[in-house]
Amino acid sequence: MDFTNQISPEIVPFLNVFIFVIGACVGSFFNVCIWRIPRDESIVSPPSHCPKCGHVIPWHENIPLVSWLALMAKCSKCRISISPRYFLVELLTGCIFLLIWMKVLAVGQPIAFVFPYFFLAALVILTAFIDAEHSIIPNEITYAGMVAGLCFSVIWPEIWVQHRNWIMPERLISLMLSSGSLIVSVLFMSSIAIGGRYMFKKDALGWGDVKYVGAVAALIGIPACFFSLLFASLTGSIYGISLIILGKGKLKSAFPLGPFLAAGTIIWVFFGEIIYESWFHLSELIALKFSGGV
């Protein structure tokens, strides 16, 4: 399904607008998920309504980005404020979807890559907002990410298998790589979670974080997981130390790691290849230095 070369340059600007609009609409759905999933409410019914007066929101008050601005961030009936989060999530999702699409076209990746990347965007946005507010990463999100990753590996093996010299069928190899990444990352993260609990007598890593990393692995592989974990450990530590210095936290205070993991994942989506190549280049230089080559 690689039709990158078949997209005529004239229609690219229209496709860009289309992808942004789709992203903003998906973001509108994410807003429903961010509010309802942690409250154990259904994401399909009842229809969107004002949490204060119960006013059912008609379609023309539910247009992504536009309605929030037109209503001046207030319910049309009771005038209660609507959180800027609604606008922010729609804008963020639209921008991330557009940037993913542009990146896949720019680097000439198989077009199928947009699907795991879009799903990853969903995982990242939902995790960041829900974990920041409720300190949980719901199973609905992480399990959906794992299942999607395994399904995508069967539907579009080119996500995992770029060279066609395999003896086994591509789809089988691809499924093995996706499920293998999932298992290895979950085992690795579980050992850190259990080891951390044993050593520090508190949860260093939540099970939601473990499952989140498993979902990232099933969607795009282990390097993305390790980078997300490394990035979250570094930035999370800086955040924790800053809280202690500012007198807003203690050494034993816990804070959600999800937003930091999510930030690491999205950085990997856009700059993964550069980080990967730089890492190998640096490792090579160090190896050469120690072997007396430089």
List of residues contacting Zn ion (CB under 5 A): 50, 52-53, 55, 75, 77-78
Is the separation of the CB atoms in 36 and 42 below 8 Å? Answer: yes
The answer to whether 98 touches 236, Cβ cutoff 8 Å, is no
- Minimum distance, C-beta of residue 79 to Zn ion, in the bound complex (Å): 7
Closest CB to Zn ion among residues 76, 135: 76
Task: Give whichever of 49 and 281 is closer to Zn ion, judged by the CB atom.
Answer: 49
Q: Between residues 74 and 281, which has the closer beta carbon with respect to Zn ion? A: 74
Place of tokens 């010299």: 165
CB 67 to Zn ion: min, Å? 14
The distance of closest approach from Cβ of residue 77 to Zn ion in the complex, given in angstroms and rounded to an integer, is 5
To Zn ion, the closest distance from the beta carbon of 83 in angstroms equals 13
Residue 74: φ, ψ to 5°: -135, 150
- Least CB distance from residue 27 to Zn ion, whole Å? 21
Shortest distance, position 53 Cβ to Zn ion, whole Å: 3
C-beta of 63 vs 144, nearer to Zn ion: 63
Q: Kindly tell me which of 52 and 197 has the beta carbon lying closer to Zn ion.
A: 52
Nearer to Zn ion, 71 or 172 (CB): 71
Smallest distance from the beta carbon of 72 to Zn ion, in angstroms? 14
CA pair distance 194, 210, nearest whole angstrom? 11
Question: Is 267 exposed, middle or buried, given 0-12, 13-18 or 19+ CB atoms closer than 10 A?
Answer: middle
Between 55 and 171, whose beta carbon lies closer to Zn ion?
55
Q: Which residues pair with 49 in a beta bridge?
A: 56
What is the spatial distance between Cα 14 and Cα 11, in angstroms, rounded to a whole number? 5
Q: How far apart are CA 207 and CA 186, in angstroms?
A: 10
Cβ count within 10 A of residue 281: 10
